[in-house]
């Protein structure tokens, strides 16, 4: 299909716009506007001026409720003080004080419900961690005791070795045995220190 055989989009838009403008012009011509009559009807409205309400015209604030008409308090002649009192009374009505429940800052966080017999997952985890720390402390104490016993047994063995060396020296050892004992004493610094102390 060619553009010539079919109307283009812009031409169709332009044609429809012109048709709409002609239709509105035809409607305006069909309904004649009488300018004199329209001026006469508007004139009395302008002639009637709405009286400006003052503080004296307003009802007492105590008599107002949520169904009262507060529009008179918006008049220019009403003082700001009285207008504010009326608006304060209006906005204290229960209709304007509905909370949606989404304001988390409205709740009272100073009171907590007691859990009673309920044990939460966090409490269980804390109890398990406490038991684990206590078990680790007991195991560490047992290991420390085992190490101390091992050190004491090593010291006891060292003392036994010194006693045997002293016994060998007391007996008149042959020369080779005395040399071996001397080499052992030189190799082990603890034994050497104990010989010096004695």
Q: What is the mean pLDDT of the chain?
A: 77
In a domain, 103, yes or no: no
In a domain, 63, yes or no: yes
The domain total for the chain is 3
What's the token pair of residue 178? 């005395």
The answer to whether 79 and 55 are in contact (CB under 8 A) is yes
The answer to whether 89 and 61 are in contact (CB under 8 A) is yes
In a domain, 108, yes or no: no
Cα–Cα distance between 183 and 12 in angstroms, integer? 121
Residue 85: what pLDDT? Answer: 93
Residue 3's domain spans which residues? 1-32
pLDDT digits (tens, 9 = 90+) for 16-60: 999 999 888 877 777 666 555 555 555 555 546 777 888 888 899
pLDDT digits (tens, 9 = 90+) for 126-138: 999 999 999 999 9
Same-domain status, 12 and 49: no
**Chain centroid, CA 188 distance in Å:** 67
In a domain, 114, yes or no: no
What's the token pair of residue 107? 């709740």
Same-domain status, 12 and 56: no
C-alpha distances in angstroms, 36 versus 32, 40, 49?
Answer: 12, 6, 22
In a domain, 133, yes or no: yes
Residue 1: what pLDDT? Answer: 44
Phi/psi-derived region of residue 53, left when phi > 0, alpha when psi is between -120 and 50, beta in every other case = beta
């Amino acid at each position: 299909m060619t553009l010539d055989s079919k109307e283009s989009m812009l031409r169709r838009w332009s044609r429809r716009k012109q048709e709409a403008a002609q239709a509105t012009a035809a409607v305006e011509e069909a309904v004649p506007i009488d300018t004199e009559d329209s001026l006469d009807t508007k004139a009395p409205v302008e002639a009637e001026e709405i009286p400006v309400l003052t503080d004296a015209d307003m009802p007492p604030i105590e008599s107002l409720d949520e169904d009262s008409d507060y529009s008179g308090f918006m008049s220019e002649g009403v003082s700001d003080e009285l207008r504010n009192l009326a608006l304060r009374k209006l906005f204290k009505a229960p209709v304007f004080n509905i909370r949606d429940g989404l304001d988390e800052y409205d709740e009272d966080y100073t009171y907590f419900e007691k859990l009673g017999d309920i044990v939460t997952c966090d409490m269980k985890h804390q109890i398990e961690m406490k038991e684990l720390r206590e078990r680790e402390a007991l195991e560490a104490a047992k290991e420390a005791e085992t190490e101390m016993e091992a050190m004491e047994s090593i010291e006891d063995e060292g003392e036994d070795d010194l006693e045997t060396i002293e016994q060998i020296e007391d007996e008149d050892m042959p020369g080779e045995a005395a040399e071996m004992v001397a080499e052992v004493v030189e190799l082990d610094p603890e034994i050497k220190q104990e010989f010096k102390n004695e």
